[in-house]
Amino acid sequence: MNAVTETAAAEPVSGVEIFVPLAKLKKSPRNARKVPHGEAAIEALAASIQHKGLIQNLVIEPEAKEDGTPTGYYLVTAGEGRRLAMLLRAKRKQIKKSEHVRCWLDTANDPAEISLDENVTRTPMHPADQFERFAELSNDKGWGAQEIGARFGVSAGVVKQRLRLGAVSPKLLQVYREDGLTLDQLMAFAITEDHARQEQVFEGLHHNREPWIIRRDMTAANVPATDRRAVFVGADAYVEAGGNIIRDLFSEDRGGFFEDAGLLDMLAAEKLREVAEQVQAKGWKWTEAHIDYPHAHGMRRFYPQQIALSDEDEARLDALSTEHDELAEGYSSYDEMPEDVATKLEAVSDEIDAISAKRSAYDASVIAHGGAFVVLHHDGTVRIERGFVRAEDEALADPQPEGEAIDSEAVEDEQPEDGDEDVQEIEEEDEEPGKPISDSLTRDLSAYRTLALRVALGERPDLALIALTHTLTAQLFYSYAEAGCLEVRPTVTPLGSHADGIEDTPLAAKANEAREAWAERMPRDVADLWGFIVGLDDERRTALLAHCAARTVNALRLPWDRKPRSLQTADRLASALALDVAKDWTPTADSYLGRVTKAHIVEAVTEGVSEDAARRIADMKKPDMAQTAEQLLAGSGWLPAVLRTVQPEAEQAEVEAAEPFGEAEEVPEDTYAVAAE
């Protein structure tokens, strides 16, 4: 049937195709769709009509007045969305409102039924078919996401998602068509375009097919962009070196996943070596670059010494500090400041830091014969550990005498044989005046002096604090057990052999920073240590003692080392400190859940989340259960019994119930005296 162009005089004839000016088309009051089309749908229709023309006619009927007289306008029975899309194009000046629209004139059928029929009696395309067709447009016609998006009225981001889904293994797309996979699960597989990997992960799935589990398995061999190596190297450098970054277009992937772990390690090592060369260029004898800190190096370490600033630097520092305070007054952050003030304040701060850095420096002999480790910190920054000296260079790096060396064989030769002491004393009576007193008498006298020191020190807690701090510090920072006169021997148990990776955690970094902060302030020669500790105020001296004592804490529970009393004391110490391990430790599949039985996992989820949550995971396979529990327990603060801290109130009640001396008893006054003897 030939199409005709509508004119005012045309008689309404049903079942013909006519062309009607856009301006003469109206929405039908009997349209079945009451909820209007969304903006995105109209945009898509407009784009389609612009690039491909009107694929489907509008169905119309003539508008008439109450007396049946035609008004010259037509009501759109089916195709209201297409009419709105044409109006949008007219609004954008792409067409005029006089543009003729191809329509199908129908006066034989009920308009309401036609409208309903168009919206009900149709089968939408399966999404998998849509994904594959988008992929074909890209592959066969070479269209990019922008071009395809423009032709179908969707964003380039949506097109990229559909292209990625269309690139999923045909085998998995068919499973999706057969309702064997949900769209969310298919999206999880689309994180990479490796069909073999997709099919391998699919075959290995159990009944638990959560999308996050699929994503985890798909990226098991890859490195997340949040990894310290990825942060350090950077995405641009990695891609430039030929690496590929896997991006998840359907969820927040925080930068994606670096596909080639070996390449990433190589780039990180090369970049660390470049930093190491810069450090060595400043005079150090050697430098070594490592991704992980080499804890087993076994070298002695020297620290920078305090240096007094010149009068000029001191004056400049005072002036800068005053200027800094004046600029910062009234502002709580750089964001609140005018740009010029913020720039100036930052420059002043940098100069203050530069001058302050002159307060400490390594001895020239340490630099000339020592070296540094350049390693990767837990947050992806460079960590430079300086001042290490190899065993063969210690004498050159530390010209300070450690005390007269004692020849043990000579001492042994000088020891009198049994029964010779009296003879020696008799012989000494005939010696000339000025001869040193005998060794036996020296021992007797020193024993009395030792006892006197014990009693006197017991009466002076302030000096006892100094002596104990000195003894611990000398051994922990200088490795000189003979530098102190207290027979207190601190033992620092390395934890790396008991928990892999613990020494590269933020908590370990905090402990190392505290140690280095003290080490940089201490005198180089242990002979000057006593004066250093005496010169500290009470607060800092106590802080140093606390640091030394803290380094010796050992609360390890080892199967071969039964020490119930020590562990009980560790529990009491944790209670007194109100220790909250949950601030620095979370239950993950690696740290706990993957290393205990399913019963323990269920118990953890029951305690940390709810019984319902525990029941939902009870029938899962062990690996899936551990991963699901990790997600459920995240942020819950749950801890296994070994890491929990007894509440101080309960501990106090236990102490009061024990009452070791009784309410009316007092500690005997001679308790110390008895112990001393």
Judge whether residue 141 has pLDDT over 50: yes
pLDDT tier for residue 398 given thresholds of 50, 70 and 90: confident
Instruction: List the single range of 171-175, 291-295, 328-332 with lowest mean pLDDT.
Output: 328-332
Q: Degrees (nearest 5) of the Cα angle 241, 248, 145?
A: 85
- Looking at residue 554, what is its pLDDT? 80
Boundary-marking domain end, from 554, 571, 603: 554
- In the prediction, which pLDDT does 428 show? 46
| pLDDT at 277 > cutoff 60 | yes
pLDDT beyond 70 at 154: yes
**Same-domain status, 595 and 518:** no
For helices 461-477 and 439-458, angle between their N-to-C axes, nearest 10 degrees: 120
Q: In what order do the strands lie in the sheet with 257-258?
A: 223-224, 257-258, 245-246
- Indicate if 619 and 539 belong to the same structural domain: no
Greater pLDDT, 446 or 2: 446
Question: CATH number for the domain including 18?
Answer: 3.90.1530.10
The answer to whether residues 548 and 588 belong to one domain is no
* 590 and 486, same domain (yes or no): no
Q: Would you state the pLDDT for residue 551? A: 83
What pLDDT was estimated at residue 655? 47
Inform me whether the pLDDT recorded for 660 exceeds 70: no
pLDDT-based confidence at 665, cuts 50/70/90? very low
Helical H runs in 478-537? Answer: 506-519, 529-535
Residues 390 and 467 in one domain: no
Which of 56, 154, 155 minimizes the C-alpha distance to 103? 56
> What was the pLDDT predicted at 495?
78
Give 115 or 586, the one with higher predicted confidence: 586
58-80: average pLDDT: 89
DSSP notation for 385-406: EEEEE-GGGHHHH--S--S---
Rounded average pLDDT over 231-259: 86
Inside any domain, residue 16: yes
**Number of other CB atoms surrounding residue 343 within 10 Å:** 12
Q: Is 524 a domain residue?
A: yes
Confidence of residue 6 (pLDDT cuts 50, 70, 90): low
Residue 465: inside a domain: yes
- What is the mean pLDDT of the segment spanning 351-360? 86
DSSP per residue over 563-604, as a string? -HHHHHHHHHHHHHHT--GGGT----TTTTGGGS-HHHHHHH
pLDDT bracket for residue 479 (50, 70, 90): low
Burial call 376-389: b when 16+ CB within 10 Å, e when fewer: bbeebeebebbbbb
Please say if the pLDDT value at position 330 is more than 60: yes
Structure tokens at 390: 């190899």
Query: Is the same domain home to 388 and 495?
Result: no
Say yes or no: 546 and 587 in one domain: no
667 or 478, higher pLDDT: 478
What is the pLDDT, as a whole number, of residue 265? 92
- Which among 142-156, 205-219, 271-285, 527-541 has the top mean pLDDT? 271-285
Of the listed ranges 180-189, 339-348, 505-514, the least confidently predicted one is 505-514
Q: Is the pLDDT of residue 166 over 80?
A: yes
**pLDDT digits over 186-209, tens only?**
988 988 888 998 898 898 887 778
Residue 220 lies in a domain: no
DSSP collapsed to 3 states, 293-326: CCCCCCCEECCCEECCCCHHHHHHHHHHHHHHHH
What does the pLDDT average to over 273-298? Answer: 92
Query: Are 282 and 360 part of one and the same domain?
Result: yes
Assess if residue 531 is contained within a domain: yes
The pLDDT value recorded for residue 511 is 84
Residue 453 is predicted with a pLDDT of 67
Final residue of a domain: which of 382, 397, 412? Answer: 397
User: What mean pLDDT is reported for the chain?
Assistant: 80
pLDDT at 671: 35
| pLDDT score for 480 | 57
Write the burial class of residue 79 (CB in 10 Å: 0-12 exposed, 13-18 middle, 19+ buried): buried
Q: Identify the residue with better confidence: 339 or 559.
A: 339
Comparing CA positions, the residue from 169, 146, 170, 167 lying closest to residue 158 is: 146
Q: Three-state DSSP class for 102? A: strand
pLDDT per residue as tens digits for the range 591-626 = 889 888 889 999 999 999 999 999 988 888 888 888
Joined tokens for residue 34: 């009451």
pLDDT over 50 at 459, yes or no: yes
Q: Is the pLDDT of residue 494 over 90?
A: no
**Inside any domain, residue 507:** yes
pLDDT of 579 above 60: yes
Domain boundary among 94, 120, 146: 120
Mean pLDDT, range 473-488, rounded to an integer: 75
539, 639: one domain: no
Does some domain include residue 545? yes
pLDDT over 50 (residue 488): yes
- Report the number of distinct structural domains present in the chain: 4
Mean pLDDT, residues 462-488: 78
Same domain membership, residue 596 and residue 534: no
Binned at pLDDT 50, 70 and 90, residue 581 comes out as confident
Cα separations in angstroms, 465 against 471, 540, 569: 10, 12, 22
Residue 466: is its pLDDT beyond 50?
yes
Q: What per-residue confidence (pLDDT) applies to 281?
A: 94
Q: Is 551 within 8 Å of 476 (Cβ atoms)?
A: yes
Task: For residue 311, give its domain range.
Answer: 278-397
Residue 100 belongs to some domain of the structure? yes
User: Higher model confidence: residue 494 or residue 429?
Assistant: 494
Q: Are residues 289 and 371 in the same domain?
A: yes
Q: Are residues 508 and 590 in the same domain?
A: no
Q: List strands edge to edge, sheet with 371-376.
A: 286-290, 371-376, 382-389, 300-301
pLDDT for position 648: 59
- Residue 633's pLDDT is what? 92
